[in-house]
Chains A and B, each alone.
Chain A
């Protein structure tokens, strides 16, 4: 059973819609991540939060807006997306960003996003 949960499992949206993806973890982790994954490709890092503050933005377009309301929750707000943004969006968490072996990343099941 995953300890990182993501909702919704699937999302279909038009290019003018606004939607949000949600990620939750109950492992007491203080670092959380958003990844984008295209079919049969490795995940690509988008954002990293540490202690609820944005630490890394991998030059992601502003139509993706992350938010970390508390240490257990991570949201990704979507607005004016393009069809090429259709992908699997994965959330992950780790104990911290300190970089030790305990900071292994654990992934959620993902949200399959389709932009029409």
Chain B
């Protein structure tokens, strides 16, 4: 079974600075997808960024980018120019491209605090 590990329960960043959230995963598969979801205190889980494992190029979405290291099974999220609105719980998630059910395997989450 696949597992996802987020080793940082909490992180803090100063407004306008850059922060990196760590995520590692364990799988024997070669075809899969990785996601970062953000859940602010308002509760809604919002997709931040996604990565297809067969693509070597790291995904980027505005201030959010990932460092995808397939051999190391690492998928970290970099947030540039941090804003107060980035404060949230961030979940890293894995999804097999082969297994039935489209199931997400979530990490435990990282709480990001943004200081003004």
Tell me which residues across on chain A come within 8 A of B42, comparing CB atoms: 109
Contact yes or no, A88 B99, CB < 8 A: no
8 Å CB contact of B102 from A31, A40, A88: A31
86-116 of chain A: CB within 8 A of chain B: 88, 90, 92, 94, 96-101, 103-110, 112
Contact-residue bracket for chain A: 20 to 34
Contact yes or no, A105 B43, CB < 8 A: no
Contact yes or no, B100 A2, CB < 8 A: no
Q: Is B19 an interface residue (CB 8 A)?
A: no
Q: How far is the CB of B107 from chain A (nearest CB, A)?
A: 7
Tell me which residues across on chain A come within 8 A of B91, comparing CB atoms: 42
Query: Given A99-B98, A104-B47, A112-B43, does the pair A42, B106 have CB atoms closer than 8 Å?
Result: yes
Contact yes or no, A97 B100, CB < 8 A: yes
Query: Given A41-B108, A42-B107, does the pair A97, B44 have CB atoms closer than 8 Å?
Result: no
Tell me which residues across on chain A come within 8 A of B98, comparing CB atoms: 99
Q: How far is the CB of B10 from chain A (nearest CB, A)?
A: 10
In the assembly, what is the distance between CA of A61 and CA of B33, in Å?
Answer: 30
Q: How far is the CB of A88 from chain B (nearest CB, A)?
A: 6
8 Å CB contact of B97 from A55, A56, A100, A110: A100
Query: Given A41-B109, A42-B107, A42-B108, does the pair A101, B33 have CB atoms closer than 8 Å?
Result: yes
In the assembly, what is the distance between CA of A2 and CA of B47, in Å?
Answer: 11
Contact yes or no, A110 B106, CB < 8 A: no
In the assembly, what is the distance between CA of A108 and CA of B44, in Å?
Answer: 6
Tell me which residues across on chain A come within 8 A of B103, comparing CB atoms: 45, 48, 56
68-116 of chain B: CB within 8 A of chain A: 89, 91, 95-104, 106-109, 111
Query: Given A31-B102, A45-B103, A55-B101, does the pair A99, B95 have CB atoms closer than 8 Å?
Result: yes
Q: Which residues of B contact A (CB under 8 A)?
A: 33, 35, 37, 42-47, 50, 52, 89, 91, 95-104, 106-109, 111
Starting from the known contacts A55-B101, A94-B102, A107-B46, 15 additional A-B residue pairs (CB-CB under 8 Å) come to A2-B44, A40-B111, A41-B109, A42-B108, A43-B104, A88-B43, A96-B102, A97-B101, A98-B102, A99-B102, A101-B52, A104-B47, A107-B45, A110-B44, A112-B43
